[in-house]
Structure formats: structure tokens, C-alpha cells
Amino acid sequence: MDDFKPSELWDLCLREAEKTLETTEYESWLKNSVYEDINGTRLVIRFRNSFVAGHVKSRFGGMLEEMVREISGRNDLALQFVGDPAKPGPSRRESAPQENGPSTTDSMYLRSNYTFDHFVVGPNNQLAHAGALAVSSDAGTTTYNPLFIYGGVGLGKTHLIQAIAHQLRREGSRRTFRYLSTEYVVGTFINCVLQKDYTRFRKLFQGIDYLLMDDIQFLEGKVETQEAFFHRFNELHQQGKQIVLTSDRPPHELKDLPERLISRFQWGLVADIKPPEYETRLAILMLLVRDEELDVSHEVLDYIASSIRKNVRQLSGVIHRLAAISRLTGCNIDMNLAQKEIKSTLGTISRRLTPGTITSAVAGVFDISPAQLKGKQRKRNILVPRQVAIFLIRELTSMSLKDIGAFFSGRDHSTVLNSIERVTELRENDPELDRRIEEIKRKLVSI
């Protein structure tokens, strides 16, 4: 958002939404919304009444938030939808155009460009892509059931699962599906608990040939939803319905999930997506540039592909922002502009990953205080986390050994080196520690 005013950001988001939604839908719900204010990291958007605001939140909230994050390059931004209280009586009815529209209130929205055509296949995502293609083209066969796709943030999981949905929705296809975010499923379940009526929850899983459920890691810790979902899963599976799930981790790394659910996730095909190699990154950039109808030299694309290596969302974010800047100001996308943009994209990340944030994250996971981590005590339950913090700071920041030592109460650089070697060794023999380190890393990189 360093590049845009919040109001511009909302306008860009609306333009993106207009491309994705049906025209009538866009016009009924979003067109007249206005940016009102920014409250910390929350953009406040005003609608003509609270009914419309509530409706937009439940139907498009997740999608709009994702768009705003992608365009701004800031994962911490959130949206708040407000409206004046709806007038009682007939006017409330009047402001409910969804009564004539398609009944999709129980399903989430698909991004129009998240199709197989727009997905670049590389060695990093080959298996997941092949699995997705197989389940969407093989009517009636359920060799890969469930298909479980996992991988880090911004690597194309949502894109692939929505590509399946697009494929199923094509003209002539008789297969019915429901695409759901796991957060939505959990939310629906909680509402049903409150109302003591589980009809809505059950309906989510009825009358469909395909269940496409995104971000299944959100089931962690939701014991009752897990239980209810377990039964729905079994029912669908027994009926030979296809299930596709995505997660930011492989099934066995999901915490607090019952073993029987985890083992069911492993029944079919488990496929991972890794960060893309240079060639794939370049191919993705070329596709994005073509879509946005931009004129960008190979040199600039090469520079972007070489600088952003871990996350495809950042790649597309950079292109969207460059496109927006060039449209707003009329300037060309040259090396200068690209360098500035990359610096601010990577800068936002490195600003977040300070020794302080890393130490706090480590302390949180090991349940000790940051002060203890930085202090002198050498008890094992503190020593190992301290070594882990040192290891992660070295890996995730560009701090020198000397500076890291200074941060940990003036230790010298050989102590820092020792810690790094020790953790490398420990990880190989201690899968639990290895898992915790990966967990901390994931938390830090996805903030």
C-alpha cells in the first residue's frame, strides 16, 4: 500500500471484482460501495445499508480481502463492511436483489482467471496439476479420492481447486459441485450449533458430485466441526462422490485432528506444490503480462523472476501493481519502476522478519518468554529454543553472525555458528523439533 492511497486500492479491487462477478451481481452489491476510512490495517468500506454490507461480507468477503491483499502486497490488510441500519419494513425486502439472482449463498465465489488455461505447469506442481486434471475430466472414476493438495502460501492451491470447479461448470457438464472455504464450513457449523438446527450444515454436502474444500487446515482445533465433517466425508466417499481438499501442510502434520480423519485424507492421492523454479516463474510472469496486456521487456521479467522466488502470489502482486501504477500515471514499466516495486515488496517482508518477531514466534511455540530466550540460562528447555531462534534469524534475515550474537546478550559469533550447526544436526534426528521449526517458519512467512 506504499504505492496506493487506500481509496485507490479499493477502486482497483472493485475493478478486479467487476471482472470476476456477473454484471448484475456486481451492480447490485458492490458498485455503489465507497472507501470510508482506514483503521489500523482495516479498510472500512461503506454500503448503502447494513443488510447489503452483511450480505457482501458473507458472500464476497473472503474473495475481496484476498484481492486487496494481492493488489497491495500486504497480507495483514483486512476489510470491514459497514452500512447504515437497514430501514425496517418493505424497503428491506427491496434491497435484497439476491432473491432474483442465482442461489449461490452457500457456495463461495470463483475467480474468473483461476482456470487450467491460466495455470503454468512446472516440476514443482506437476503431480498436483495432473491429479486436478484427472479428477475433473474423469467423470465417475474415483481413483484419486480424496485428492489432497498441499503446499505453502501463495503457491497455487486455490487456483488449482477452483480450476476444477471451472472445468465442472463448463457448458454441457452435468456434474454438480460445491466449492467451499473451510472457514465458511466452520462458520456454518457454529451457526447451526447456536440455532440447534443442523440442516444448513448438512445441506452443504448434499446433492453434489464433487466437494471442493479449500484450506482444510482451518479444521485444526475445531473438534465438533471435525466430528460432523467426518460423517459427511464418509457419506460422500461411500457414495463414490469426488472429494478434493487443499491444505498448507501434508495430512500427518495437521495438528489436533483425529487419526481417523487424517488417515482418510491419505486414502487417495496426496500431492504437494513447491515453490516454482526460475523457468516456471518466468512463464507465470509472461502469462500475467499477456493477460494484463502490458508491454514489459524480457530484461525486466528476468529481473522480477530472479528476485521473487518463494511465492507466486507475490509475483502476480508485483505485476498487478506495476500495471496499476502504469495505468494511473501513464508511465512505462521499465527497470527503474520494477526495481522500486520489488524493493518495496521484499521490504514489506523483511520489515516483518526482524530478530524480535522471530524470537517472539519461537518463544510462543516453545512456551517460554522472549527474555528467557535472549538471556543467559543454559537449561535444555531454554537452550534448544534459543538455538532454534538463532538458526531461524540466520536463515530468514540478512543479519551477520556478529549482530545475531549481539542480539542474544552479547554472545560471540562462534556461539552463533555452533547453535546453527547444532540445530541442523538435531533436526535430522528429532522429527518433532523439525516439525516445530517448520511450523514457526510457516507462521512467520505467512503473516
* Interface with ligand ADP (CB under 6 A): 114, 118-120, 125, 151, 153-159, 284, 312-313, 316
The rounded distance, in Å, linking the Cα atoms of 229 and 307 is: 42
Torsion angle (degrees, nearest 10) of CA 393, 395, 399, 403: 50
The rounded distance, in Å, linking the Cα atoms of 396 and 387 is: 14
- Given the complex with ligand ADP, which of 19 and 92 has the nearer CB atom? 19
Q: Are 287 and 267 in contact (CB under 8 A)?
A: no
Q: Which residues contact 445 (CB under 8 A, 6 or more apart)?
A: 152, 153, 310, 349, 396
- Given the complex with ligand ADP, which of 158 and 419 has the nearer CB atom? 158
Residue nearest to Mg ion (CB): 158
| 242: contact with Mg ion by CB under 5 A | no
Residue 22: CB atoms within 10 Å: 11
HSE at residue 327, side-chain half, CA atoms within 13 A, is 14
Q: Which does 436 bind (CB under 5 to 8 A by kind): ligand ADP, Mg ion, none?
A: none
Q: Which residues contact 251 (CB under 8 A, 6 or more apart)?
A: 148, 150, 262, 263, 265, 266, 270
Q: Kindly state the smallest distance separating residue 205's Cβ from Mg ion, in Å.
A: 21
| 158: contact with Mg ion by CB under 5 A | yes
- Given the complex with ligand ADP, which of 57 and 313 has the nearer CB atom? 313
Q: Which does 146 bind (CB under 5 to 8 A by kind): Mg ion, ligand ADP, none?
A: none
Site map 118..157 versus Mg ion, x via CB under 5 A:
---------------------------------------x
Q: Kindly state the smallest distance separating residue 312's Cβ from Mg ion, in Å.
A: 11
Q: What is the DSSP letter of 85?
A: P
- Given the complex with ligand ADP, which of 72 and 158 has the nearer CB atom? 158
| Footprint (CB under 5 A) of Mg ion, residues 414-443 | none
- Given the complex with ligand ADP, which of 242 and 316 has the nearer CB atom? 316
- Given the complex with ligand ADP, which of 332 and 446 has the nearer CB atom? 446
The closest of 431, 424, 428 to 390, measured between CA atoms, is: 424
Beta strand 177-181 pairing with 269-273: unpaired
Q: Which does 131 bind (CB under 5 to 8 A by kind): Mg ion, ligand ADP, none?
A: none
> How many chain residues bind Mg ion (CB under 5 A)?
2
Binding residues for Mg ion (CB under 5 A): 157-158
